[in-house]
Structure 1
Amino acid sequence: MVSRYQQPFNILKNCTFGAPNDPCMQEYQQQQPFKTYGTNGILAGIKKRHTAGGKEPELFIFGGPSRFEGYEPGFAGKAIADPRYFTWTILKGHTRNRSGYVRIRSQDPTQPPEINFRYFNDGHDGDYDLTAVREGIEFVRTINQRAEQLSWLDTNHGNEIVPGPDIDTKTEMDAFIKKEAWGHHASCSNKMGHLSDPKAVVDNQFKVIGTENVRIVDASIFPTIPGLFIVLPIYMIAEKASDDILREAYLHDQKTS
């Protein structure tokens, strides 16, 4: 969700993002504390429970002074071209949607598989995810309204441009979400599980069940999505896989020596 304000944000004042004689880069190189380039660019991050959900926060809503509408060619330059923009990003985690699939298109290994996440409209948990994201949009709008009243974001008026004030009803917001929502941290397509589980692809040592000398060590092996961001669990499984491989090699050497 993107808003445009009447004046630049002070945190970006004088920053030219790497152009010659960039004063913000000079501050960073001098290791001055609490300066713009010494941060991740996010001013606020909020974990939120879906009102129809359980104990775990399923929404992570974070915002910063930029114009970000998704990953596309030239997105970084667009994000920083005008310091009057502010973007809230709404992350929906812990999905229980199991309707997505990965299918082989042909016997040609160079052909990419067909991947369909089926995020929404599956009649089950995808619909639940849709309502959660809509709730995130409504929540961000209350933040923006309150922040302007308290001058938290800026002292001047903001104008929502994405999705925009014309998108306001449940039907309009749902259509916007279906068109704009995306994800790039795919996981759980090669489930780790017991040999008796017909949906299990790898065992507890990452070995592909029914094969020899083949392991999978990436985000696909999680039985369920592990949290809001999966990078740390990926580090953890990589460490475990390393231990498993080294242990097996050591035991093999012991038997053959």
Structure 2
Amino acid sequence: MIYDYIIVGGGSAGSVLAHRLSASGSNRVLVCEAGPDTPPGDEPAEIKDSYPGTAYFDPRFHWTDLKVHTQVVPHNRPEERPPLRKYEQARVLGGGSSINGQMANRGAPTDFEEWVERGAEGWGWDDVLPYFKKVERDLDFDGPLHGKDGRIPVRRLKEEHLGPHAKAACEAFKAAGFKYLPDQNGVFEDGYFSITISNQDEQRASAAMGYLDRETRKRANLTISTETQVTGLLFEGLRCVGVKALVRGQEQEFRANEVLLSSGAIHSPAHLLRAGIGPVAHLREMGVEVRHNLPGVGQGLMDHPAISLSSHLKRSARMDDVHTRRHIQVGLRYSSGLEGIPAGDMFAAAVSKSAWHAVGKQVASFLIWVNKTYSETGQVRLASADWRAEPVVEFNLLSDRRDLDRLMTGFRMMAAIQMTGELGELTSNHFPASYSDRVRKLGVVNSKNRFLTSAISLIMDGPEFIRRRFIEKYVIEGFTFDQVMTDDAALEAFIRKATIGIWHASCSCRMGADDDPRAVVDTQGRVRGVAGLRVVDASIFPVVPCANTNFPTLMAAEKIADAILAG
């Protein structure tokens, strides 16, 4: 059987494409998802949970061997190569939307005007807004900026349901002179707000839940094949005609009129590279026969650089899970004021619980990230031509000095806010936090970590001097709070070491104009110079928007699905 469309990856974009392209009974659609299914009404409890911290660290739901470099990699000094970090990428139906923080925001109108300037004609703010609205069913707001009929419900926590830490953060933001915004997805301006989330009735609303519901799955022309890893693309000359895959361990081939890669900004370029589509020199180095020279494949990888400021949280301010299990309830969008940088270029989230375990409930944080980043020298390359090998991933965060400078000033600004008013009374023992391997391993849900954290929590709630010594010896990695607040060199060193991405990998198969040598796809996701092949996911963004990337990915899939159906 020849399908009309094979979708490689059943994540956020893949779920949208499967739903839209199979709506016409004449289109035969196959979805190949490497991870497990999330059957309607029988989704794993960790995925349904309004708190994402358990799903995100459950090895059942992500690519367990994927590791990346976040720091800048000096290729001329291999001995100074920074350490590898685990980077959780979803491997489950619904993709990132099944394990992420459920943040439902869009970015700044200026982001999409920049997309147009970079060659993505037809992707300006007025062009993409109808598709953002098409995605959502806003449970709180109506009007020209909001959708009411989409497949993904969005809402905000009511003020009376915010936890004590979140309420205190709001008061601290207010005292610092920031404006309260009732709607994060309203007019894009600076201010603090209750975070907009893809969530209803205190349960996650993933792309799989919204777009691959029971009615959609009844379509005879739609096949969803989970536990199916695509191992290669099939070609006849320069036309992609299908895929090779392992279906629950069995090798199979599937043919199609068109193949759509929706495997994310790390694995979509890897598929292209293994198929011989990419920079000639790298393909030859890897022993891959060159099918089509496309220099931009894997280049320009981006994420939002982020750091954390953490504190011990008094018992009275800890989450009680009565109204919500949401750990991030409020956020702040603000402007750095650096010359030439658009407003709203920075973001801070008040994190009222840092992990699922006993110690996580005792630690609150400000997660600060560069909303409008200029670090875009990251790349995805092959480690081997073998499909089993994860690619080499280098984010090169902070490759632009402006990102480093803004995190330095942002850290100290948020430290001052952290010690303001009631928020200062509810927190103590502030420390610059690192998302180290030790922290990550402790985040895995198992009995050993439950026991360990229960024991550690007794120390953390003990006398202040014991807690301070414990934090300095076992929690922080090289820098105390006093050091980074008073010594610029120490603060810079901490940020260079501790900065991580926030799982917003994007831009590695960019849209662009015909004359752009780095453009991989055109404005409908079609791979340049190759027939029958598209990329539809966050990798096609010309530049990462000032947003969590899930909703921009859903928007892009809706827009390209419309273009495909329009012929």
Which TM-score band (shorter chain)?
0.7 to 0.9
Q: How does 1:65-80 map to 2 (within 5 A)?
A: 65-66=352-353, 68=354, 76-78=355-357, 80=358
Could you give the per-residue CA deviations for residues 152-208 of structure 1, whole angstroms, max 9, x where no partner exists?
Answer: x26456220335223331111111112221111111111101222111100111011
Among 226, 246, 249, the residue aligned to 2:545? 226
Q: How does 1:121-200 map to 2 (within 5 A)?
A: 122=399, 126-146=400-420, 150-151=421-422, 153=423, 155=425, 158-163=428-433, 164-168=481-485, 169-183=487-501, 184-200=503-519
Higher RCO (CA-CA < 8 Å; seq separation 6+): 2
Equivalent residue number for residue 4 of structure 1: 312
Change (3 A) 1:156 1:88: closer
> Are the equivalent residues in 1 in contact too, given 2:315–2:362 (CA < 8 A)?
yes
Unaligned runs of 5+ in 2: 1-308, 434-480
Equivalent residue number for residue 42 of structure 1: 328
Q: Does 1:205 align with 2:491?
A: no
Unaligned runs of 5+ in 1: 18-23, 25-34, 69-75, 249-257
> Are the equivalent residues in 1 in contact too, given 2:371–2:545 (CA < 8 A)?
no
Q: How does 1:102-113 map to 2 (within 5 A)?
A: 102-113=380-391
Change (3 A) 1:240 1:156: closer
Secondary structure of the residue that 2:514 maps to in structure 1? coil
Residue identity matched to 1:9? S
Count of matched residue pairs: 209
Secondary structure of the residue that 1:215 maps to in structure 2? strand
Equivalent residue number for residue 255 of structure 1: none
CA distance in 1, matches of 2:540, 2:426: 48
Q: Does 1:244 align with 2:563?
A: yes
> Are the equivalent residues in 1 in contact too, given 2:352–2:364 (CA < 8 A)?
yes
> Normalization by structure 1: what TM-score?
0.73
Equivalent residue number for residue 371 of structure 2: 93
CA distance in 1, matches of 2:360, 2:513: 53
CA distance in 1, matches of 2:545, 2:526: 20
CA distance in 2, matches of 1:200, 1:156: 50
Change (3 A) 1:83 1:99: closer
Equivalent residue number for residue 343 of structure 2: 56
> Are the equivalent residues in 1 in contact too, given 2:484–2:491 (CA < 8 A)?
yes
Change (3 A) 1:11 1:238: same
CA distance in 1, matches of 2:517, 2:427: 57
CA distance in 1, matches of 2:525, 2:549: 17
Shift of 1:227: 1.9
Shift of 1:85: 2.6
Change (3 A) 1:157 1:42: closer
> Are the equivalent residues in 2 in contact too, given 1:186–1:219 (CA < 8 A)?
yes
Residue identity matched to 2:419? Q
> Are the equivalent residues in 2 in contact too, given 1:60–1:228 (CA < 8 A)?
no
> Normalization by structure 2: what TM-score?
0.35
